[in-house]
A and B are shown apart, each in its own frame.
Chain A
Amino acid sequence: MDPWHKFRRIFYSVGIPPTIWLIAFFLVPLGLIWIFSFGEKVGVVGIDITWTLDNYVRSFNPDILTIFAKSLWLAAVATFICLVIGLPVALGIVYAPNKWKGLLLLGIMLPFWTNLLIRTYALIAVLRTRGYVNFTLEWLDGAARWFLELFGMGGIALAILGERFQALELLYNDNAVILGLVYVHLPFMVLPLYAALERLDRSYLEASLDLGAGHLRTLWNVVVPLALPGIISGLIITFIPALGSFLTPDLLGGPDSAMIATIIERQFKSANDWPFGSALSFLLMYITFGALAIRALMARRRGGDGMGG
């Protein structure tokens, strides 16, 4: 291959437009937000850049820190559940017959093609008091009562099942947020895991089985360590967008399940406090960088092969 500088003209004509795009629509706005974060609000729309650290200091009040902690917690739990669900799913796809693989991967990616808002409302339709989960439970409840009464055990039915069916409150709490985050972010986990597992030489698994390990021990001793770069990628690729979610906690969460992005959005909109919102945004970004730094560090420790798809 000739080095790129032999084709300087092609290189520049291909390389410059995206660079301009990146600068104009990503770096410049980001820089503006960074500058705003050192500003003070004057009047309704004005921002005075005074290089004050006040906005950052304000972020470190207990209320905001609690929300940061809660966001980290919700995102972490959702990410972990994604891993627990995603690993068997990815393994299943890797070991599925070849003709099924494409279809299964498509199935995993299908939700990507639907608008997030629509997906979230679909979840609401499933979970709400008059939703499909409760309909199903109600039907089961009715069937059980009918069955017990048929055998003259109406008393027992009353004792176990109560006076009448009580719909479960599945929405507007932390669990609903976690469920929503898992539902939305599962593909982010499955795809890197799939890529890592697909590359894994099967003779390692067979060697482990051959040497007397069962499937679970092979999974733990061989698959997980060898797929670790992919697992770490999956964790981070899932954790970062989960941490920054605002639609999901907004629509599915209760009054106390606000995540940090919800608060940020509020600053830019209803609270109209851009400097504070900017400072919060950057704090969130530093946390994200922290997560990425951890990954880079782990990748270096493993001999530089940290990319997992």
Chain B
Amino acid sequence: MTDGAKTIIGIRSVTKRFNGNVLAVDDVSLDIKSGEFFALLGPSGCGKTTLLRMIAGFEVPSDGSVEIDGQVVDDVPPNKRPVNMVFQSYAVFPHMTVADNVAYGLKMDGVSSSEAKGRVEEALGLVQLPGYGERMPDQLSGGQRQRVALARALVKRPKVLLLDEPLSALDAKLREAMQLELRNLQAKVGITFVMVTHDQDEALSMADRVAVMESGRVRQLAAPRDLYEFPNCRFVADFIGKMNLFEGVVKSSAGSEISVGIDGIGDVRLPFDGSAQGKIGIAIRPEKAMVTADKPSDEDCLSLEGQVTQVAYYGNESHVFVKTASGLDFSVTTQNNERSVVAATNPGDRRWVSWRRKDTLVLAE
């Protein structure tokens, strides 16, 4: 994918403290590759915007440094950095026409007005707003304003486009359409996109790589698939998608196997390639587990007996909640791919929950 591509943005041990004590970003180091779609994902207040603003130049790191295209830019003001930003509020200048908004950055760069005219047209075409140049921003819908903000940043052909929750102000339907559009646009223009979001679906479906942040730190940086299938800690496992999380203790580990005692399940052997000691987390995705009437005979499966407490029906799938005899709450997602399965499980039924050993995640952190 983007392996081997050159680093366009280097974050080097960057820390940001506000007013000397609020630790917004805590010793973050990461490389963003040229041409990739990079997402910063995390819960509210974890420091995503602060990190983005340090790349744009609106905040200065308290410690560490930011490199853009191999150059340390700590002393470079925002207007001299080869990056552009799409603001969460769009910040489309209300006193200028759409065309003047888009041309603003070109004018500042001293691009001749005839060349600017062509590039503005081109940029408006790119965001599917051809012919909107003479409108005022208050004559546009939220989605259209967002496109103007996008065109205004893209027209400068920056090395990196920074987007702070670009879709959060749009309604669900428009947001979905814009996700696809933004993704296609990025592929088309080939500019590196760095997008901040707190919406995991958005990050997973759009980005090549995602950095998951928690209270100022990057907990995991990986491709969406790896993030979902191989989270490296309880926080990421829980934050991305749904997860059944249990506590356990390492009994022994040998080669590529580990023996753990799990609260409410007992001692089990699990395939595991790392090293872990003491208390660990055990995680199983709801869709990786099954609910059956009889105990599966498969040796590779772990199973628990319990009682169905609730069934939430979503049409294509159902979420079945099972309380095991040992008191664990288990949620299982089942696909309703046959009409007959829909009515097969009801609250109160005694059922077996089972999953493959190799689908069990061992989380050292």
A213/B108 in contact, CB under 8 A: yes
CB contact under 8 A between A209 and B79, given known A222-B93, A226-B95: yes
Q: A31 an interface residue at 8 Å Cβ cutoff?
A: no
Residues from chain B with a CB closer than 8 A to the CB of A212 are: 79-80, 105, 108-109, 156
Q: Is B230 an interface residue (CB 8 A)?
A: no
Compute how far the CA of A201 lies from the CA of B156 in the bound complex, rounded to whole angstroms. Answer: 23
A206 to B93, Cβ gap below 8 A?
no
CB closest chain-B residue, reference A214 = B79
Are B95 and A225 interface neighbours, CB within 8 A?
A: yes
Tell me if B95 and A201 are in contact (CB < 8 A). Answer: no
Number of interface residues of B (CB under 8 A): 22
For residue A210, CB closer than 8 A to chain B, the reply is: yes
- Quick one: given A209-B79, A211-B152, are A217 and B108 in contact (CB under 8 Å)? yes
A211 vs B80: C-alpha distance in the bound complex, in angstroms? 9
- Binary contact track A215-241/B, C-beta < 8 Å → 1, others 0: 001000110011000000000000000
A136 on the B face (CB < 8 A) = no
Q: For residue A270, which residues in chain B have a CB less than 8 angstroms away from its CB?
A: none
Q: Tell me if A204 is interfacial: C-beta within 8 Å of chain B.
A: yes
- Pair B79/A210 contact, Cβ less than 8 Å: yes
CB neighbours of B58 from chain A (8 A): 206, 209-210
Q: Inside 8 A of A208's CB, which chain B residues have their CB?
A: 93, 104
Task: Identify the closest chain A residue to B85 (Cβ).
Answer: A210
Verify if B56 is at the interface (C-beta below 8 Å from A): yes
Tell me the dominant secondary structure on chain A's binding face: helix
Among B91, B105, B109, residue most surrounded by chain A Cβ atoms (within 10 Å): B91
Flag whether B274 is at the interface (Cβ < 8 A).
no
Report chain A residues within 8 Å CB of B131.
none
When distances are taken between beta carbons in the complex, the residues of chain B under 8 Å from A217 are 108
What are the residues of chain B within 8 A of A203 when measuring CB–CB? 87-89, 91
**Nearest Cβ on chain B to A226's Cβ, whole angstroms:** 6
Q: Which residues of B contact A211 (CB under 8 A)?
A: 79, 84, 104-105, 108, 152-153, 156
Q: Tell which of B84, B88, B93, B94 touches A210, judged by Cβ atoms closer than 8 Å.
A: B84
The answer to whether A209 and B78 have CB atoms under 8 Å apart is: yes
User: B77 in the interface, Cβ–Cβ < 8 Å?
Assistant: yes
Q: Most B CB atoms within 10 A — which of A207, A211, A212?
A: A211
User: Which of chain B's residues has its CB closest to A206's CB?
Assistant: B58
Q: Could you mark each residue 190-214 of chain A with 1 if its beta carbon is under 8 Å from any beta carbon of chain B, else 0?
A: 0000000000010110111111111
Give the distance in Å from the alpha carbon of A203 to the alpha carbon of B86 in the complex: 10
Contact partner, A201, options B91, B104, B108, B109, Cβ 8 Å: B91
Most buried by A among B58, B95, B152, B156: B95
Chain B nearest Cβ from A204, distance in angstroms: 5
Roughly how many angstroms separate A170 CA and B157 CA in the complex, as a whole number? Answer: 57
Taking a contact as CB atoms under 8 Å apart, the answer to whether A213 and B79 are in contact is yes
CA distance A116 to B256 in the complex (A): 88
Q: A209-B79, A210-B84, A214-B79 are in contact. Are A204 and B108 (CB under 8 A)?
A: no
CB distance from B43 to the nearest CB of A (A): 22
Residue of A with least CB distance to B136? A303
A213 partner residues in chain B, CB cutoff 8 A: 79, 104, 108
Q: Please measure, in the bound complex, the distance between the C-alpha atom of A208 and the C-alpha atom of B77, giving whole angstroms.
A: 12
C-alpha spacing A225/B104, complex, angstroms: 14
Whole-angstrom distance between the alpha carbons of A16 and B77 in the complex?
59
For A214, list chain B residues within 8 Å (CB): 79
Min CB distance B208 to A, Å, is 24
Assess the B79–A207 pair: CB atoms within 8 A: no
Closest to B77 in A: A209
Residue interface mask B85-120, A partner, CB < 8 A = 1: 101110101110000000011001100000000000
Query: How far is it, in angstroms, between the C-alpha of A31 and the C-alpha of B52 when the chains are bound?
Result: 64
What does the 1/0 interface line of A166-182 toward B look like (CB < 8 Å)? 00000000000000000
Residues of B within 8 A of A225 (CB): 95
By a CB distance below 8 angstroms, the chain A residues around B78 are 206, 209-210
Expressed in whole angstroms, the minimum distance between the Cβ of B50 and any Cβ of chain A is: 14
Nearest chain A CB to B111 CB, angstrom units: 10
CA gap between A100 and B94 in the complex, in Å: 30
Cα distance, A250 to B16, chains bound together (Å): 58
Chain B residues with CB under 8 Å of A209's CB are 58, 77-79
- Known contacts A212-B109, A213-B79; is A207 also within 8 Å of B156 by CB? no
Contacts of B80 in A (CB 8 A): 212
For residues 38 through 92 of chain B, which have their beta carbon under 8 Å from a beta carbon of chain A?
56, 58, 77-80, 84-85, 87-89, 91
**A210 with B56, Cβ < 8 A, contacts A201-B89, A203-B87 known:** yes
Residues on A with beta carbons closer than 8 Å to the beta carbon of B87: 203, 206-207
- Mark B301-334 against chain A: 1 for CB-CB distance below 8 A, else 0: 0000000000000000000000000000000000
Q: Chain B: residues with CB nearer than 8 A to chain A?
A: 56, 58, 77-80, 84-85, 87-89, 91, 93-95, 104-105, 108-109, 152-153, 156
Nearest 4 pairs between A and B by C-beta? A211-B105, A212-B108, A207-B91, A203-B91
Beyond A206-B85, A212-B156: 8 further Cβ-contacts under 8 Å? A203-B88, A207-B85, A209-B58, A210-B56, A210-B58, A211-B79, A213-B79, A226-B93
* 15 A/B residue pairs, CB under 8 Å, sorted by A: A203-B89, A206-B85, A206-B91, A207-B91, A207-B152, A208-B104, A209-B79, A210-B56, A210-B153, A211-B79, A211-B108, A212-B80, A212-B105, A213-B108, A225-B95
